Chain A
Amino acid sequence: MTTDTAPKPSFWYRLAHPGQFVALTRPWLWPLTLITVALFAVGLWFAFFNSPEDYQMGDTVRIMYIHVPTAWLSQFVYGLMAVSAIGSLVWRHPIADVSMKAAAPLGATFTALALFTGSLWGRPTWGTFWEWDGRMTSTLVLLLIYLGIVALWRAFDDQLRAARVIAVFTLVGAINIPIIKFSVDWWSTLHQPSSVFTMSGPHMPPSILTPLLVMAIAFTMLFLTLHLKAMHTEVARRRLMALQRQAAQTGKTA
């Protein structure tokens, strides 16, 4: 078999090569950015100008349009990190390592924002900024796990070794995700049960569900855009570190 007759590498195989991954996905950044901006424009217009007050919550329902998407992302990002951790441990996939590392600070930020917006909604609705109930406490634990992962990445010089340790830590921490999801069913909590993703469908009128879904998609697109950009930077950083090692070995001062 010659190089001419060798089968062309598959899309997934090419994605495993960091340089190929960056070359393939760099053109996606601007379209993703434009879609994100458009979705936020539409979502905010719905949130402030084309959605009613809730019959119970009043105008504080508008906080839900940023609270629910950030809370959704806090769990979605962790799910992505857990899948990447499997890719890192099982297939030693270099892009899985990069994905894990790039996602952690983003997930930590969205989790902190979910807690922040939730407490600002809770004060006028429940009369308190904070309650040690199942949903809120398990989300706080998720934030601490994220911060632990960010700290672990910074603690290791050898990023390949770090990836193995952090992948195991991430998978152990993933047990918290179903706890967050089902906390409102397992325990008697102040936090209301799920009202969007339920077996019988969403429990809210379309006038409130529409801005909620548009904002959830907008925040998800924001995450995907930032994650992709952060992954490109992480690939460049690893290349930079390799060059610095090479310079040190050859005696050139960097």
Chain B
Amino acid sequence: MIDLGPHAVFIVSAYAGVTLAVVALIAWTLFDARRTASKMAALEARGIRRRSAGPAA
């Protein structure tokens, strides 16, 4: 790692904060997708399907 000089604490804090926020954003995006998919699967398991998809098997 290079020497970041006398203001290293500001540089490291900036990168740490951005990394944390980006990781949280990715995690939230994936969590939201999975939660929605699992709710959809639960509905379809109860035989509730779109009319255009035809009757449940």
Interface residues of A, Cβ cutoff 8 Å to B = 48-49, 53, 58-60, 62-63, 66-67, 70, 106, 109, 112-113, 116-117, 120-121, 123-124, 222, 226, 229-230, 232-233, 236-237, 239-240, 242-244, 246-247, 250, 252-254
Q: Is the CB–CB distance between A254 and B15 below 8 Å?
A: no
Q: Is the CB–CB distance between B14 and A121 below 8 Å?
A: yes
Contact of B43 among A53, A222, A247 (CB under 8 A): A247
Query: Complex: how many Å from CA A59 to CA B42?
Result: 53
Interface residues of B, Cβ cutoff 8 Å to A = 1-2, 4-8, 10-11, 13-15, 17-18, 21-22, 25-26, 29-30, 32-33, 36-37, 39-40, 42-44, 46-51
Contact of B48 among A63, A222, A233, A252 (CB under 8 A): A252
Interface residues of chain A: helix, strand, loop or mixed (majority): helix
Q: Is the CB–CB distance between B36 and A66 below 8 Å?
A: no
Closest A residue to B49 by beta carbon equals: A243
Interface residues of chain B: helix, strand, loop or mixed (majority): helix
Residues of chain A within 8 A (CB-CB) of B36 are: 233, 236-237, 240
Q: Is the CB–CB distance between A117 and B14 below 8 Å?
A: yes
Query: Complex: how many Å from CA A63 to CA B18?
Result: 10
Closest A residue to B39 by beta carbon equals: A240
Q: Is the CB–CB distance between B29 and A120 below 8 Å?
A: no
Q: Is the CB–CB distance between A60 and B48 below 8 Å?
A: no
Residues of chain A within 8 A (CB-CB) of B10 are: 60, 63, 120-121, 123-124
| Among B6, B22, B44: residue with most chain A CB under 10 A | B22
Given contacts A120-B14, A121-B10, A253-B46, 18 further A-B contacts (CB under 8 A): A53-B5, A58-B6, A63-B11, A66-B14, A66-B18, A67-B14, A109-B25, A116-B18, A124-B10, A226-B26, A236-B40, A237-B36, A239-B40, A239-B50, A240-B43, A243-B44, A244-B43, A254-B43
Contact of A62 among B4, B30, B40, B48 (CB under 8 A): B4
